Each structure stands twice: as C-alpha cells, then as structure tokens.
A and B are shown apart, each in its own frame.
Chain A
Amino acid sequence: MSPGVASAEKQAEILKDQGNVYFKKERLSAAIDAYTEAITLCPLIPVYWTNRALCHRKRNEWERVESDCRKALELDKDSVKAHYMLGLALLQSQQYREAVKQLEKALELGRGGKPGTYMVEEIWQELAKARYTEWEQGALVRKRQQKDLKELCERLLKEDCERRLTIADVNTAPVKQSLVEIDGVIQLDDDEFSGDENKSDDPPNEEITKLYHQHLETLTQVFDKAGAPDRPVEVPDHLCCKITMDIFRDPVITPSGVTYERATLLEHLRKVGKFDPVTRTPLSSDLVVPNLAMKEAVQAYLDDHGWAYRTY
C-alpha cells in the first residue's frame, strides 16, 4: 500500500473527528465542510455521509439529508442512521408510505443491537407519528367523501320516495274495478265492487314509506360500518397491557398466562418485586416469553385503525 493512499484515509479520519467536534459545539457549517472534505478524500465511507446528513438535519435542509442518506445506503444498506434520517426527510416531503418503510427498516436494524437504547425509542416515536399522519390524511379524505355521498343518497332516496308516493296517489284515485263477461257482454263485476279485496293489502303509500324508512336505516348502518375503523374508540382490552393500559408495543407473557408490556414488566420486576403483577406468583425475568402471536394481533389492529398510533 502506497504511503499516499494511507495518508488519505488517515487524513479523512482526522477531518471526520474535527467535524464531530464542530458538531458538538453546534458549528454546523464548519462540521459540514470538514465532513465534505473527508468525503472528497474517501467517498466510500458511509459514516462520513451520515454524519453530514445529521448536520443537514439540524439545519432542516431535508433534500440534502435525503441525498446524503441515499448515498450512505448505497455503501451500507444496514445503516440505522441512514434509514432513520431518510425516513424523516421523506416525512418532510410527505411521502408517507416510503417514510414508513425507511423508519421500519431503521427500527428493525436498531433493535438488533442492545434493546432500550435511546435511538430505538426515538425511531419508534417517529415511526408511530409517521403512521399516524399517513392514516390521518387518508381518513380525512374518506370522511369527506363518505359524508358527501351519504347526504346525496339520503336526498335522492327521499325524492325517490316522494315521486313514488305521487305516482301511487295518481294510480289509486279511482277504485279498481274488475271486468267480467256475463252472457257474452263485458261489464263491471258488481260482486267485487265491495272494495274489500283492495283493502286487504297495505295501502301502497304505507308500503312505499315503510320501504323508504328501511332503506334509510340500512343506509345509516352501511355508512356507520364503513366509517367505523376510522373513528377513534377505546382500544380493545385484550390488546392492552394491564399495567400501562396502553396498546402493546412489545408484548411478553408470564407463566401465569398474563401478557404485559415488556419494558414495564421488567421495570416492575426490578423495582417493585419479583412476582407477577396480576397473579402475584413468584416470577423472574428469565421466565418471561415474547408473545409473538399477540404482537401480530396488535399490528393487524393498527393496520386497520391507524388512529391508535397516537397513543404510542
């Protein structure tokens, strides 16, 4: 290896360290310059790119954050910071679907390391926020469209009912009379003139009105059902931790069969006592098991009820 190449790498590292110092002192322009020089010397080191991206993030220069992160990911597709900041940048440009994907990737990779680091918590918060905003956007549009359509249908049904009633009134003005053939001559059938037979059915008006009301009721039910997932309600009990009362993020189960939020249970065991919070049977943290099926159940609920991300 020629001395020239070695010193370029060393120099780049020195520049990076300089940049870190500037960053800590909030001298972002200087930090950016230092990282940029390092990149020029050694463009294949992902950390230089993500460090610079972090500076741009502090200055809300989101387009630059995006381009630096994408470059970093070309060099290291498993960079937690790159996925994370790319996700944040995409949020800024309201590309929610993509943003969520990046943040999910960052969370997945971040969790591979030691659990409970600040980074994972921060990523989680941003991810929840992104999913909430994505849901909110869609929900507003759906609500408005459904409201407009429902009101239009209610009006049209009413007008349709009134039209039918008018037609019915016209049709029943004269009592219908039957015609019979007597001795070869067609004449009115006096025997059927009593009118009782006509009254054995519901008068057409009542039939029409009854049908109208039934349609209205079905309409209300249908629109209620269609709009229900978008209406915030209480998250079902079985999806919530008995201690936090919030929807599970990382559910674990104890030998007693009760499921808790992992972090909350571990804290309970550390600070309160080594027993199951609900059943009070003796319990140590090594007996705690991840409730994978419940984790999927929670995700399925969130997929359909995006408003529940707000409590995260």
Chain B
Amino acid sequence: GSSCSPGQGQKRKQSCCLHKIHFILLFSRQGKLRLQKWYTTLPDKEKKKIIREIIQIILSRNQKTSSFVDWKDLKLVYKRYASLYFCCAIEDQDNELLTLEVVHRYVELLDRYFGNVCELDIIFNFEKAYFILDEFIIGGEVQETSKKTAVKAIEDSDMLQETVEEYMNKPAF
C-alpha cells in the first residue's frame, strides 16, 4: 500500500510496524464501536481518527465483496457476524486467511463463554470480551490455539473472582 498520506506516513511507520495484528475493532452495523484493542501505541486522537475512517470504509462496502481491504500500508481483514463487524489490521506480508481464522476463533470463544453470543452480551460484559481476547491474543500474536484451553483459563479466573465475591459478601465487609 502506498496511499499513505504525507506527513502522517512518517509517524505511522515509527509506531505501527511493531506487530502482526495492529489492532482489532468490533463495531455494529450502525457504526457503533463495541470493542477496540490496540497492539500499537498511538495517541488517542489518532486512534479515534483511524476508527472513524475504518468503520466508514467497511460499512460502505458491499456485502458481496471480499473481506480484504488495502488501507494505508496495512491490510484490513474483516467479517460480519450477525449485526457485528470484526475487523483486524495486519501487515503486508501477513496471511489474510489466517487472520479470518483468528477472527472466527475469537467468535467461537465468545460463543462458548457466553453461550450463543449476541451483540448485547458484548455490550454489557465488555470487560469479559476483553479478557477472552487477552487469553487468545497477546501483543498481536495468537497465544492459544486451543479453544478448550483458552475458555478454561477464563473460567478458572472467573472462579477465582467468585471466591473473592463470596468473601466480600461476608458480613464483615
């Protein structure tokens, strides 16, 4: 991709080419952001600008077009599940199909955890969605390829939380 806008291109290069997956965005058909995970450090202002831009690009695409978009010096890989769009930004040499599989795996994980996941689950338990994502991907790299292990790690840490809750509910608190 060479359509990097001048000036900004320099900056992007500096901070962006650090990871395999640069960021993951979840947004609704109405263009509402539901989850954002950045594996690069960028100023908030720039993040907001990028989010706006990408949501617009993807929402304006026809349903039947491919899932890949060249964007600046990165590639966007996205997929729609029900009312939610899942979008990843990856580097030039990275494998698009693999990224689609990553997205799909994440949806599967959410599904397992919430049981038939829907957009509302993610809205109301957005921190859980983050925790699941963190168990699956770390620093832009897939850390756990086994569904079972990833979900188990979340549930185990939830159980840990459970005992703490019980502890807090004791009269002493």
Partners in one complex: no
